[in-house]
Structure 1
């Protein structure tokens, strides 16, 4: 007889631990759990906030449809106030709308309340048709009241609405972080912070070298060459992470023949040149976690780390589930400018070093007879040169600066000798007398904006840059086939490995229903090609 399947020996009883008290979960609590999931909160965070077991919270998420149905059935007809759980179409619409607003901002396109409301109604109707009969009872009018609540739920700020820093949350957070660090046993070498920033890599201060060359000459116009960088390091200041660079083109001409893995930056591309959720997740898994492991091994530390992030849309909330050794904590909303270490001097100092190197390089290359003119030098200044200057400028930041910027959020880790270094002298340095200090300050403060004033940037077919960026994207049959293949493979993995067959079938049906429009588009393109 197989072990474990025979009859129990007489007189023996299984030993069990003390019986746990079962905790009744009210419908109100279950709806609160679902509401927090819709807002993007993590499973562990919800469990901790509401005092529930993580398994309980996970079970509520799995049974969300039944809970919503029970909620509607339990509402009395005579109720004067109805608290309802927002429908699937409504939730999907708001998520897509928030992404659309972020995309509009990244492209510096104007948006206002009326435009957002019209976009919301359009998305809602499209999603309603895709969901079929099950969603026909849902209605939506995009009222001003809805828009006010939507802005709160998704932390939406219009272009004419200044971000309001939450000083009270910023004041309380150091105590919260201190407890997390103490409970986890992290040292300053194991606590990291990163942040994204934009960089106009081919822009100089206004009125630069006006006395040397007429900036209004033919071929000159404002430079719009832009990229995004992810910069970060640990609280001790002895580990600066390799910068992640996101550029609009995957293969600019200046990088022809270069081995991208051997660049001094992690090269990634995106048409809008900003960090996406997929790019960030790949960076976290393939670069950050291995870098932490190497750093801990070199310093004879346990392989664990704490990563502090702001709540940017590109930062996935599920990063904790991707690594057993890295804990991820998010800063309170609207506190990044007040307490995030990278925003307390690191990024500004880096950009000042980059600008200084670019200006010094320009002077050195154009000073003297039979040297290139400023215009000729600037025409040859390409993204490869910018990558080198980015790496050198990042290398120039001292460990004391990387450590000193943690003073507001974790003052105990800052060494007495650590001070944030002063910005490098740019005005009047090494033949740069033509630079006006006011313009330098303006440029450093506005690197994240699309400046429209005149500059010294060259933009012509001979700049050596990839000029295909203006071409609109095209969804080819190859793109569609590749994307649909990924969906099919992912759904197959879920079907083969999920012990809950009902759940996997439900997910497969839902995903196939949503992407059916792409399957039809693929068939149409194939028919047209024939």
Structure 2
């Protein structure tokens, strides 16, 4: 018995895509070739080519080829134009926007235009977002607050800054917060069963990383709250794979940073090396420290997400690996706990049977 044909997933093209610029080149592609490229049916290709002039006109009128549908004339045309202009200006300044904010702003414009019957309903909001292809996205990162010209100028200065240092002697250091007991907020579960979570721990550590352009890693600095945690009771600090420090909030401060960078300086002096250390200009990074074998170079303000190598995925990779190992250890501990519980139950039942 032959399988039924698979149903093609419905695909909607933007106004820019509907121009199909390939149809203007020679030799002209067939409708079948265009349908395979855009993932649409041959009849849809034919309909789009017939209405090509209409799409061109609507792109000129709407000035936005990323839209999926062109704007038809609406009852509140002037209000919608003001809202669209304001929306673009707000997003150009990276201002986060939501539906209620748009509705409130539209009511202000309606009052200014003396439109008494406008209600800024959810229906109007949905149509406004559909008309301009507005979707909700999660705000992430800090790149919106960066001066691209400053980044470009500093990048051009890097060869001069690094002059006299080999690649293996150019380092970058940066610290990050680690909520070391936080569990994932997503899980697999059987359909119909509850997926209740627990209150996540807010205990945190601060971890300072330092690595070179060739991949050499210095011993990480870890800052906690306790001077000697109970889990370190039988460990010598000199044999630990990290440098442990502490303060009341487990945060980096100028004293801890100063002691750490002096240790790095002493290490480089023993190795008879002179290194260049790039770091951000946080207030906890003391600038008046006298060092012999380490030269500190502070990055421009608010540019670390573009210029700092550790912010380009190195710290994120560490946290991903930490979470993976933590979950594996929890799985092993759970299995051991279950095994011990079963063993205790067997011993108790055996002892009861012997009575």
Scaled by the length of structure 1, the TM-score of the pair is 0.35
Q: Give the CA deviation at 1:253.
A: 2.1
Say if 2:268 and 2:293, in contact at 8 Å, map to a contact too. Answer: no
What is the CA deviation profile of residues 361-391 of structure 1, one whole-angstrom value per residue up to 9, with x for unaligned ones? Answer: 2223334784369xxxxxxxxxxxxxxxxxx
Is the alpha carbon distance of 1:210 and 1:280 closer, same or farther for their aligned partners in structure 2, counting shifts above 3 Å?
Answer: farther
1:173 corresponds to: 154
Residue of structure 1 aligned with 2:267, choices 288, 291, 295: 291
Secondary structure, counterpart of 2:162 in structure 1? helix
Indicate whether 1:205 and 2:184 are aligned.
yes
Is the alpha carbon distance of 1:244 and 1:221 closer, same or farther for their aligned partners in structure 2, counting shifts above 3 Å?
Answer: same
Say if 1:163 and 1:334, in contact at 8 Å, map to a contact too. Answer: no
Is the alpha carbon distance of 1:208 and 1:225 closer, same or farther for their aligned partners in structure 2, counting shifts above 3 Å?
Answer: farther
Secondary structure, counterpart of 1:364 in structure 2? helix
1:341 corresponds to: 309
> For the residues of structure 2 that align with 1:267 and 1:360, how far apart are their CA atoms?
25
Is the alpha carbon distance of 1:216 and 1:243 closer, same or farther for their aligned partners in structure 2, counting shifts above 3 Å?
Answer: same
Residue of structure 2 aligned with 1:228, choices 195, 206, 216: 206
Say if 1:365 and 1:371, in contact at 8 Å, map to a contact too. Answer: no
> For the residues of structure 1 that align with 2:195 and 2:217, how far apart are their CA atoms?
38
What is the CA deviation profile of residues 9-60 of structure 1, one whole-angstrom value per residue up to 9, with x for unaligned ones? Answer: xxxxxxxxxxxxxxxxxxxxxxxxxxxxxxxxxxxxxxxxxxxxxxxxxxxx
1:491 corresponds to: none
> For the residues of structure 1 that align with 2:194 and 2:232, how far apart are their CA atoms?
31
Indicate whether 1:313 and 2:289 are aligned.
no
Scaled by the length of structure 2, the TM-score of the pair is 0.51
1:190 corresponds to: 169
Indicate whether 1:250 and 2:227 are aligned.
yes
Say if 1:365 and 1:372, in contact at 8 Å, map to a contact too. Answer: no
> For the residues of structure 2 that align with 1:204 and 1:248, how far apart are their CA atoms?
21
Is the alpha carbon distance of 1:253 and 1:339 closer, same or farther for their aligned partners in structure 2, counting shifts above 3 Å?
Answer: same
1:407 corresponds to: none
> For the residues of structure 1 that align with 2:287 and 2:183, how far apart are their CA atoms?
37
Instruction: Determine which structure has greater relative contact order: mean sequence separation of CA pairs < 8 Å that are 6+ residues apart, divided by chain length.
Output: 1
Secondary structure, counterpart of 2:151 in structure 1? helix
What is the CA deviation profile of residues 57-79 of structure 1, one whole-angstrom value per residue up to 9, with x for unaligned ones? Answer: xxxxxxxxxxxxxxxxxxxxxxx
> For the residues of structure 1 that align with 2:150 and 2:252, how far apart are their CA atoms?
26
1:433 corresponds to: none
Which of the pair has more CA radius of gyration? Answer: 2
Say if 2:265 and 2:292, in contact at 8 Å, map to a contact too. Answer: no
Is the alpha carbon distance of 1:206 and 1:325 closer, same or farther for their aligned partners in structure 2, counting shifts above 3 Å?
Answer: same
Say if 2:224 and 2:247, in contact at 8 Å, map to a contact too. Answer: yes
Q: Give the CA deviation at 1:250.
A: 1.4
Aligned pairs for 1:9-408 within 5 A: 164-182=145-163, 185-208=164-187, 216=196, 220-237=198-215, 239-286=216-263, 288-294=264-270, 297=271, 303-319=273-289, 322-367=290-335, 370-371=338-339
Say if 1:366 and 1:372, in contact at 8 Å, map to a contact too. Answer: no
Secondary structure, counterpart of 1:338 in structure 2? helix
Is the alpha carbon distance of 1:369 and 1:355 closer, same or farther for their aligned partners in structure 2, counting shifts above 3 Å?
Answer: closer
Secondary structure, counterpart of 2:339 in structure 1? coil
Is the alpha carbon distance of 1:205 and 1:167 closer, same or farther for their aligned partners in structure 2, counting shifts above 3 Å?
Answer: same
Secondary structure, counterpart of 1:334 in structure 2? coil
Q: Give the CA deviation at 1:169.
A: 1.2
Q: Give the CA deviation at 1:338.
A: 0.9
RMSD: 2.7
What is the CA deviation profile of residues 180-204 of structure 1, one whole-angstrom value per residue up to 9, with x for unaligned ones? Answer: 212xx10011111000100011111
Aligned pairs for 1:408-419 within 5 A: none
2:96 corresponds to: none
> For the residues of structure 1 that align with 2:336 and 2:220, how far apart are their CA atoms?
35
Structure 2: which 5+ residue stretches go unaligned? 1-141, 342-355
Say if 1:167 and 1:338, in contact at 8 Å, map to a contact too. Answer: no
> For the residues of structure 2 that align with 1:329 and 1:369, how far apart are their CA atoms?
51
